[in-house]
Amino acid sequence: MQKIKLAILGYGNVGRGVEYAIHQKDDMELEAIFTHRKPDQITTVTDGVKVYSIKDAEKFLDSIDVMLLCGGSASDLPEQGPHFAAMFNCVDSFDTHAKIPEYFAAIDENAKKSKKTSVISAGWDPGLFSLLRVLGKAYIPKGDEYTFWGKGVSQGHSEAINRIDGVKFAIQYSIPIENAVNEVRKGNNPTLTARQKQIRECFVVAEPQVDLKTIEHSIKTMPHYFSDYNTIVHFITEEEFVASHSKMPHGGLVFRTGTSGRENMHKQRMEFLLQLECNPEFTANIMVAYARAAYRLFKMNDFGAKTVLDIPVGLIVPESMEELRKTVL
Amino acid sequence: MQKIKLAILGYGNVGRGVEYAIHQKDDMELEAIFTHRKPDQITTVTDGVKVYSIKDAEKFLDSIDVMLLCGGSASDLPEQGPHFAAMFNCVDSFDTHAKIPEYFAAIDENAKKSKKTSVISAGWDPGLFSLLRVLGKAYIPKGDEYTFWGKGVSQGHSEAINRIDGVKFAIQYSIPIENAVNEVRKGNNPTLTARQKQIRECFVVAEPQVDLKTIEHSIKTMPHYFSDYNTIVHFITEEEFVASHSKMPHGGLVFRTGTSGRENMHKQRMEFLLQLECNPEFTANIMVAYARAAYRLFKMNDFGAKTVLDIPVGLIVPESMEELRKTVL
């Protein structure tokens, strides 16, 4: 079997996760890692992988089937996505929900021009959770949908705290409120505000001799991030931070609850739970699965930008549709 | 907006569920119901629906966009599926897992010949649970998959008991064994036999003056259906049967649990739970969602047999992909 040749562009937590993920697959191999940093300063997590500067990526047009863009959504992808979609089949996990239409359009234009296929926003939210929301809308059309995030580390919220003066390290956990989850689970279809759904718990290492009350106030009143939530702030030592808060767990719940039939008398419920000890490694596995799909679509001359909603689910695993009909259906 | 014109062929529990489901939709309308029985003996659950004999279905080639085949998998669909796939775009919920490849091939040949599109096995298992199994394999490739059915009524098992001499009425509930579910949920990836996963609980109304011990023995030793399980048999009165066992609840759990990363040190888990007060009405909503997809694929000249694994999930809801990118992703 001809293996699919992949490359990683941007070597952070997700990039390393992708490297582990490819290492476990029989139908693909890792051709190269491209980094912003000096290539000789990078230690890869598996053996024998070549590391190059991002500037050299264009020299590999003929040897890479799919490029996995593992940079961040805030500053890397808005520029890298459209740029590399014009050269390679690409996959990313772009997650700035509000900017997806605009990002999709930019990628679609460039990919179609050069007859390449790019899958955008292939993570778990957006991504897997989006799929589940659509399945819920379709199968329980008279109903309500609820997404709870956590318990887990929100990267964006942690970084927002880190930007406050006097903060040395910070991490933020999103925690679903149990009462709210239970009301949804019972099929009561409650109306819930952000504050009623999630708690935000923060662990902060402060610089010496700063006013902790000021930091706490800055966090709790930060618009968009914290002001709409009940936020708990703990100040801890650097030792405790390193010992207890260096993992990246996450997860969440997607519910669809509603009714069907005569006078809507029958309650119906779909509930999906995700529990991850390592969030970036799960995102990495999703990206690798959609790299497989991107390559298959490219081979079928189906070019342009795609999301997880455009792609038949059977294309993301190594098996053929024929095998899947025998073994999974 | 031009509404999609649907018809129901086979008017049992699922057929009635489909009728309710179409009634709730803005983008589709019910053109006709076709039945094996005498049309004037049928009372429809919504008003103003025309009922015809199945023999007359061929007269409606020009006025029906998608035919929903609501017959059973044992005797109706193996014959009706290929027959009507040659005339109409069709959707069914064929659920004899082992015969899906052969059924698919028969439908595919006829549908392609006449340039129609048929979606087969669009129910919850096979169907929704199949999709979840593929997502699990893709996103947690190093892992195990577990499906538990219930608590709910298994139609096939209930019918198997009904065929025993001396049984007047019978219903069988499949019940997941809590210990097994908990072991899976903890991420212990146990090896489980059928007996360790499910209990089968049966409620039987016997004919007068038959030997209950004989019936109980016939049930518990029935190969495939009961002999591999711990089976509990209760004999009850007809009054109790009617009062307490006339609903059709069902549901189930699909788990994927495994590990990722360096030395597979991180546990990852996906868990999906379905809880239905009315099983056939849920299946009906799935079929209607895939009728929408079948019609869209037909309009794109994508003919032949399809399963839920071949179809982009975004096609099953009324919204366009553009709207979904804005609102769901």
**pLDDT, tens only, B10-47:** 999 999 999 999 998 999 999 999 999 999 999 999 99
Q: Summarize the confidence of residues B150-161 as an average pLDDT.
A: 92
DSSP A220: H
The whole-angstrom distance between B94's CA and the closest CA on chain A is 10
The whole-angstrom distance between B221's CA and the closest CA on chain A is 28
Q: If you search the block for the tokens 């069907």, which residue do you land on? A: A260
Degrees to nearest 5, angle at CA A30 with A28 and A33: 155
Are residues B31 and B63 in contact, defined by beta-carbon separation less than 8 angstroms?
yes
Residue B1 has pLDDT above 90, yes or no: no
State how far the alpha carbon of A223 is from the alpha carbons of A158, A219, A227, A235, B198, in Å. Answer: 14, 9, 5, 21, 50
**pLDDT, tens only, A260-294:** 998 889 999 999 999 999 999 999 999 999 999 99
Q: If you search the block for the tokens 């190269």, which residue do you land on? A: A32
Q: Summarize the confidence of residues A69-96 as an average pLDDT.
A: 96
Beta bridge partners of B306: B119
The chain A residue lying nearest B185, using CA atoms, is A275
Beta bridge partners of A175: A199
Structure tokens at B242: 């009617």
Q: Dihedral, CA atoms, A234, A239, A241, A242, nearest 10 degrees? A: 180
Q: Which residues contact A310 (CB under 8 A, 6 or more apart)?
A: B312, B314, B321
Query: What CA–CA distance (Å, rounded) separates B302 from B117?
Result: 7
b/e string for B193-222 if b means 16 or more Cβ within 10 A?
Answer: eeeebbbbbbbbbbeeeeeeeebbebbbeb
**pLDDT, tens only, A168-227:** 999 999 999 999 999 999 999 999 999 999 999 999 999 999 999 999 999 999 998 999
Q: Summarize the confidence of residues A68-91 as an average pLDDT.
A: 96
Sign (positive or negative) of CA dihedral A314, A303, A310, A253? positive
pLDDT at position B95: 92
Establish, for the pair of chains A and B, how many residue pairs have beta carbons separated by less than 8 Å: 200
Query: What CA–CA distance (Å, rounded) separates A189 from A258?
Result: 8
The answer to whether the CB atoms of B309 and A289 lie below 8 A apart is no
pLDDT at position A234: 98
Are residues A288 and A179 in contact, defined by beta-carbon separation less than 8 angstroms?
no
**pLDDT, tens only, B268-312:** 999 999 999 999 999 999 999 999 999 999 999 999 999 999 999
Whether the link from the prior residue into B208 is cis, omega within 30° of 0, is no
User: Taking CB atoms and an 8 Å cutoff, what residues of chain B touch A142?
Assistant: 24
**pLDDT, tens only, B86-101:** 999 999 999 999 999 9
Are residues B13 and B278 in contact, defined by beta-carbon separation less than 8 angstroms?
no
Query: What CA–CA distance (Å, rounded) separates B138 from B78?
Result: 32
The answer to whether the CB atoms of B276 and A286 lie below 8 A apart is no
Q: If you search the block for the tokens 């234009």, which residue do you land on? A: A109
Residue A230 has pLDDT above 90, yes or no: yes
Structure tokens at B153: 């009524």
Lowest mean pLDDT among A23-27, A290-294, A320-324: A23-27
A interface test, pick of B119, B140, B325 with most A CB neighbours within 10 Å? B325
State how far the alpha carbon of B219 is from the alpha carbons of A329, B86, B164, B208, B223, in Å. Answer: 28, 41, 8, 18, 9
b/e string for A223-249 if b means 16 or more Cβ within 10 A?
Answer: eebbeebebebeebeeeebeeebeebb
B interface test, pick of A18, A73, A124, A139 with most B CB neighbours within 10 Å? A139
Residue A1 has pLDDT above 80, yes or no: no
The answer to whether the CB atoms of B126 and A329 lie below 8 A apart is yes
Q: If you search the block for the tokens 């040949």, which residue do you land on? A: B109
- Among A285, A224, A291, smallest CA distance to A89 is for A291
Please give the distance of CA B212 from its chain centroid, rounded to a whole number.
33
User: Taking CB atoms and an 8 Å cutoff, what residues of chain A touch B128?
Assistant: 135, 139
Beta bridge partners of B234: B203
The whole-angstrom distance between A320's CA and the closest CA on chain B is 11
B317-322 contacts at long range (C-beta below 8 A, 24 or more positions apart): B317/A134, B317/A137, B317/A138, B317/B289, B317/B292, B318/B25, B318/B26, B318/B27, B318/B292, B321/A307, B321/A309, B321/A310, B322/A101
| Phi/psi of residue A320, nearest 5 degrees | -75, 165
Q: Summarize the confidence of residues A90-115 as an average pLDDT.
A: 96
pLDDT at position A44: 95
Query: What CA–CA distance (Å, rounded) separates B124 from B289?
Result: 12
Residue B148 CA neighbour count, 13 Å, CB half: 28
Residue B263 has pLDDT above 90, yes or no: no
pLDDT at position B260: 95
The answer to whether the CB atoms of B282 and A139 lie below 8 A apart is yes
pLDDT at position B282: 97
Query: What CA–CA distance (Å, rounded) separates A69 from B155?
Result: 48
